[in-house]
Chains A and B, each alone.
Chain A
Amino acid sequence: MIPNFETNKSDWTIRVTIGELIDVMSALSMIGRSGGNGEAHVWLTKVPKGPRLWIIRERIITTWITADAESTDPTFALPIPDRFIPHLIEVASGSGGADLFYNETEGTIIGRGTDRYISTDHPDNVEFTEKDMPYLGRIHGHHESPAVAEVSVKDLTLFTDTVQDFPRDPTDGSRVFPFVHVAIGDGQFAWTMDWRRYNAGRTTGSIPARTNGHSTFTFYPYILARYLRSRDDHEEARIFVDEQNSDYVFITGDKWGIRCLLDREELARWSSEVKAQLEREGFEVEETEGERIPDFYTFTFDNLECFASVHCKDDELSEYIRLTHILTTNTPANRDVLEEINNINATLYGARLVLRDGEVRIIVEFPAKAVTDMGSHLSVLKTALDRCKNLTVFLPLFSDSH
């Protein structure tokens, strides 16, 4: 049957240029999605009273490209399968662009060149959500310490070069490459890549920047570095972190931008294994809503709330896991309390009580590499919890309020 692409058309058409399609394809390639699996898609929408916007979201990064919009551009978010983009480029070439529209009886998205058509099924069961939005303004003003660095894309080449300078055999068994440590401030954008875990030492670089504010942060940089290599050398880029402990760093150019999730390397190396081991031991671990790897996992042990967290040792090369239960709060650091803590610590094995920020905590710590021994360390925690049961009654007696 010969298809008739011009029937049952939607009442909207979007005229896209081959230039913006190539930009989208380039972005897909740079973030490793050029292969186009069956489910991945690009969002096409329009900024209110502004430009057209192509959004590509991955777990770690979200990138966007802006292009001139026409007044007839719809404002909804249209999902376009990754695999359709190269075909649209082909249709648009020699046609001065392509028209995109929807066939309402077939449920297909159609691309039309001068005399050529291509169609694909509209993705099913997908929804554009807040997380797909490149930037979410916060009306309550969570912008305590914004930091901005304006740098030339050409200078950023030094950053991308050092990020992509892998040791010959970069494997320590953890399958997580080093995160980059970045500092913004005092007219510089500076960074360090630490390959010591791979016997290759550290590399630190700095480029001039017009800066406003100070910030330090870490993230997984490899996709970003590859993407930045595809940007025009003559452009300026703005690097922006919203606040201390921000979720994202933003890097924007004239018609493109990228949002990179900020995470901690030690969490990336061990958190999923910590969660898996807790679940293997029969604990239900609370799920978290955010995109970042959680700083700790919460689980319940004999009706007591406990936490599992990952921390770096001072040498920055090894990590340990800490299991914590907060025994009391508002506890003063007076002599009686400290003596009691010392007395109990003398009877504990593999666990200890600490007084921190007015809280008496039971903690069990062990090397992250021994994460598969979680069961035995949970037993140690259990013994300590049993030993300290009476303290929840005893220690508050020393509180100032008594």
Chain B
Amino acid sequence: MSHSPSPFGDDFGPSDESLIETFVEVEQFVLDLEPKVREVNRVLVPLFGKCPSSKDGSWAYIAKDDNDQYFIAFECLPVDKAFGLVARLAEVLALVEDANSHVRARDSYQPDLGHVIVGDVAQFNVVPHTHVRVVRKS
């Protein structure tokens, strides 16, 4: 009975070291960074609207630095769009200050697991309005 760590058996496992490194990179990309970028965009897009610089409106994307290390980068903005963003941030700041007695941002952000664990019911962005009893004359 084979005890090969490869699901394909000894003859078919990746033997090329560079290939293994690539797999590790892809694994890091898919399992680690990609959900984080999605989480960042999930929060930023409703808050700031779609990013005017990216095709799909995302604000964050995965990039590599000169040392081949992955990091989360944010789109560059033209000057006028940047001031539009600052104006939006000022609005958000006013809202946050207004609600500050109840809601306080933490230093370290943790992704909202509810969407993964609780399922569909975590998809609401707003409270549904109530169907009220209105009786009109016939």
Q: Enumerate chain A interface residues (CB-CB to B < 8 A).
A: 8, 45-51, 53, 64, 66, 74-79, 102, 104-107, 121-124, 126-130, 132-135, 137-144, 146, 148, 238, 240, 242, 250, 252, 257
Instruction: Say yes or no: A257 contacts B135, CB within 8 Å.
Output: no
Given contact pairs A77-B130, A78-B131, A128-B130, A137 touches B120 in the complex (Cβ within 8 A): no
Instruction: Say yes or no: B127 contacts A79, CB within 8 Å.
Output: no
Instruction: Say yes or no: B118 contacts A252, CB within 8 Å.
Output: yes
Rounded to whole angstroms, the CA-CA distance of A177 and B120 in the bound complex is 34
Rounded to whole angstroms, the CA-CA distance of A202 and B120 in the bound complex is 38
17 additional A-B pairs beyond A47-B124, A104-B136, beta carbons within 8 Å, are A45-B128, A50-B123, A76-B130, A79-B130, A79-B131, A104-B134, A105-B135, A123-B133, A127-B130, A134-B118, A139-B47, A141-B110, A143-B113, A144-B106, A250-B117, A252-B119, A257-B118
Instruction: Say yes or no: A53 contacts B121, CB within 8 Å.
Output: yes
Minimum CB–CB distance from B121 to chain A (whole Å) comes to 4
Minimum CB–CB distance from B112 to chain A (whole Å) comes to 5
B128 to chain A: which residues have CB within 8 Å? 45-46, 75-77, 128
The answer to the question of B129 belonging to the interface, with a C-beta cut-off of 8 Å to chain A, is yes
Instruction: Say yes or no: B103 contacts A140, CB within 8 Å.
Output: yes
Q: How many residues on chain B are close to A (CB under 8 Å)? A: 34
Q: Scoring B residues 60 to 76 as 1 if CB is less than 8 Å from chain A, else 0, what string do you get?
A: 00000000000000000
* 30 examples of A-B residue contacts, CB within 8 angstroms: A64-B121, A66-B119, A66-B121, A79-B130, A79-B131, A105-B135, A107-B134, A122-B131, A126-B130, A127-B130, A128-B128, A128-B129, A128-B130, A129-B127, A137-B112, A137-B115, A137-B122, A139-B112, A140-B103, A140-B104, A140-B106, A141-B110, A141-B111, A141-B112, A144-B110, A148-B117, A240-B117, A242-B113, A252-B119, A257-B121
Instruction: Say yes or no: B113 contacts A146, CB within 8 Å.
Output: yes
Please count the residue pairs between chain A and chain B whose beta carbons lie under 8 angstroms apart in the complex. Answer: 116
A106 to chain B: which residues have CB within 8 Å? 135
B120 to chain A: which residues have CB within 8 Å? 47, 50-51, 53, 66
Instruction: Say yes or no: B121 contacts A134, CB within 8 Å.
Output: yes
Minimum CB–CB distance from A244 to chain B (whole Å) comes to 12
The answer to the question of B4 belonging to the interface, with a C-beta cut-off of 8 Å to chain A, is no
Contact of B114 among A77, A132, A144, A242 (CB under 8 A): A242
Instruction: Say yes or no: B131 contacts A257, CB within 8 Å.
Output: no
A79 to chain B: which residues have CB within 8 Å? 130-131
Instruction: Say yes or no: B112 contacts A47, CB within 8 Å.
Output: no
Q: Report the nearest A residue to B46, measured CB to CB.
A: A139
A129 to chain B: which residues have CB within 8 Å? 127
Per the 8 Å Cβ criterion, residues 85-104 of B in contact with A are: 103-104
